[in-house]
């Protein structure tokens, strides 16, 4: 067994990989900026974790170092690790290595919907008693974690395209949900994104299966010449599609899948939105190819009540307003969430939107304006910078301007306290409030529910 050190061990993906290696008997150490529930859990499993990151955290008897993409090359701990001459792997490289030890590996990729679909595939395999190992980019409620260490040959992983990290994965079963412009701080343009996904599609095992969205423009460019089996899915087209779509009084859908011309049993979802019907179709196609029964499919999908921060019900404010939180941070995701909200009982739809990164805000400024013009009111919080500095000449006020130009109703407020104060004064019964974005905007809804 090896001694492995994780630089940035508290990240949602890094922590999951650390847990897998602990389960395999390795000695795991790590560091992060501050303690968290995730680092506390790893410490309970036996990991030695230091705070904050520093050169002295690098121990000479370490066999291998793992680092997250968020770590800059001038990070003192990273530099100290590199100076040892020991092997250094990125998070994606390690995940790819771990995946190779599983015969039936599944990767879920796409610009949107990865976390929910990874959970759907996992729930079906759990319902089939397949005991899968699971690595997901969010908290999966049924396992209360982002990681599950199973004992079978099945491994389900969320695969992110950012920095081409998913090129390190060689799955037997591969899902590509959609391909759109995103992460424009890394990719040059849409064609660059498509080229990246094509390369990833080529990584599918020759004896494996690629499940891909039929609605992706020029989808044949991504599949032509592949040796693996290719299965397409779509709401109304593809090898698997949905019929008899219905919504209940809470906006939750049911539908009858048709797979290769055969009607399957009706599926009842406990997550809203047309986009989740598509996600479910992809999960059904993949797991049916893996041998899952119809019963496992229907039970697994019924068991999935949504990943954390994916149209997640948070509570009812004292005003009577319903509070939902959603991770949507791309115009396509916003439109999908607002379509789902349209089927949810309400009189007035209010969105608090926190744009995620300056580069994304600048690249999609017009699209954000159009997408968010569909609300009764959109309140803009300041941009969540993540890894970026404020050097791009774009701010939340610009999004507000675009929304209002598109016929919507929007205001910008300078900080979270101002947003919370405004909501406390103006929310009323019948309102549906959605806090939206990939940053810490969730805190706003939680704060007003606590007061």
pLDDT tens, position by position, 67-93: 987 788 899 999 999 999 999 999 999
pLDDT at 72: 85
In 327-412, which ranges are E strands? 348-353, 377-380, 410-412
pLDDT at 183: 84
The Cβ of residue 3 has, within 10 Å, a number of other Cβ atoms equal to 15
pLDDT at 68: 86
Residues 6+ apart with CB under 8 A from 199: 164, 167
Q: pTM of the predicted model, to two decimals? A: 0.84
pLDDT at 59: 96
Report the percent of the chain where pLDDT is more than 70.
100
Question: What's the angle, vertex CA 274, arms to CA 195 and CA 403, rounded to 5?
Answer: 80
pLDDT greater than 80 at residue 451: no
The highest-level CATH class for domain 102-303 is alpha beta
C-alpha span between 182 and 394 (Å, rounded): 17
pLDDT at 146: 87
pLDDT at 18: 95
Among the four given CATH numbers 3.40.190.10, 3.20.20.100, 3.90.190.20, 3.30.413.10, the one describing domain 312-450: 3.90.190.20
Among the four given CATH numbers 3.90.245.10, 3.40.50.720, 3.30.2130.10, 3.50.50.60, the one describing domain 3-91: 3.40.50.720
Mean pLDDT of 14-43: 94
C-alpha span between 272 and 279 (Å, rounded): 11
pLDDT at 344: 87
pLDDT in tens, 89-99: 999 999 999 99
Domain ranges of the chain: 3-91, 102-303, 312-450
pLDDT in tens, 292-329: 999 999 999 999 987 778 889 999 999 999 999 999 99
Is residue 209 classed exposed, middle or buried when 0-12, 13-18 and 19+ CB atoms within 10 A define those classes?
Answer: buried
- Residues with a known catalytic role: 114-115, 158
Residue with the bigger pLDDT between 96 and 138: it is 96
Are the C-beta atoms of residues 306 and 140 closer than 8 Å to each other?
Answer: no
């Amino acid at each position: 067994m090896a001694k492995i050190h994780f630089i940035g061990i508290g990240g949602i993906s890094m922590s999951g990989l650390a847990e897998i290696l602990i389960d395999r008997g390795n000695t795991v150490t790590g560091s992060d900026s501050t303690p968290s529930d995730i680092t506390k859990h790893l410490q309970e499993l036996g990991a030695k974790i230091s705070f904050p990151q520093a050169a002295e955290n690098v121990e000479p008897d370490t066999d291998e170092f793992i680092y997250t993409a968020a770590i800059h090359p001038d990070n003192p701990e990273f530099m100290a690790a590199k100076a040892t001459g020991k092997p250094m792997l990125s998070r994606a490289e390690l995940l790819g290595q771990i995946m190779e030890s599983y015969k039936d590996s599944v990767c879920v990729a796409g610009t949107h919907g990865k976390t929910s679909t990874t959970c759907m595939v996992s729930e079906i395999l759990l319902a089939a008693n397949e005991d899968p190992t699971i690595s997901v980019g969010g908290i999966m409620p049924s396992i209360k974690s982002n990681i599950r260490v199973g004992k079978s040959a099945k491994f389900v992983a969320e695969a992110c395209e950012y920095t081409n990290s998913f090129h390190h994965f060689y799955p037997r079963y591969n899902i590509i949900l959609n391909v759109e412009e995103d992460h424009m701080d890394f990719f040059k343009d849409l064609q660059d994104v498509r080229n990246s996904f094509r390369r990833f599609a080529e990584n599918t095992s020759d004896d494996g299966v690629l499940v891909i969205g039929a609605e992706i423009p020029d989808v044949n460019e991504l599949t032509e010449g592949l040796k693996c089996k290719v299965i397409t899915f779509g709401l109304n087209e593809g090898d698997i599609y949905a019929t008899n779509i219905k919504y209940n009084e809470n906006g939750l859908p049911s539908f009858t899948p048709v797979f290769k011309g055969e009607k399957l049993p009706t599926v009842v979802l406990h997550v809203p939105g047309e986009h989740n019907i598509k996600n479910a179709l992809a999960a059904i196609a993949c797991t049916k190819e893996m041998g899952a029964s119809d019963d496992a499919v229907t039970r697994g999908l019924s068991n999935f009540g949504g990943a954390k921060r994916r149209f997640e019900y948070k509570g009812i404010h004292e005003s009577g307003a319903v509070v939902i939180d959603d991770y949507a941070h791309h115009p396509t995701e916003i439109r999908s969430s607002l379509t789902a909200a349209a089927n949810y009982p309400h009189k007035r739809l209010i969105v608090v939107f926190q744009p995620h990164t300056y580069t994304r805000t600048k690249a999609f400024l017009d699209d954000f304006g159009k997408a968010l013009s569909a609300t009764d009111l959109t309140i803009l919080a300041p941009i969540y910078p993540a890894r970026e500095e404020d050097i791009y000449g774009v701010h939340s006020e610009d999004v507000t301007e675009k929304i209002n130009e598109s016929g919507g109703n929007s205001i910008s407020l300078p900080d979270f306290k101002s947003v919370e104060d405004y909501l406390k004064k103006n929310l009323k019964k019948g309102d549906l409030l959605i806090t939206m974005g990939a940053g810490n905007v969730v805190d706003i809804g939680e704060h007003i529910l606590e007061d």
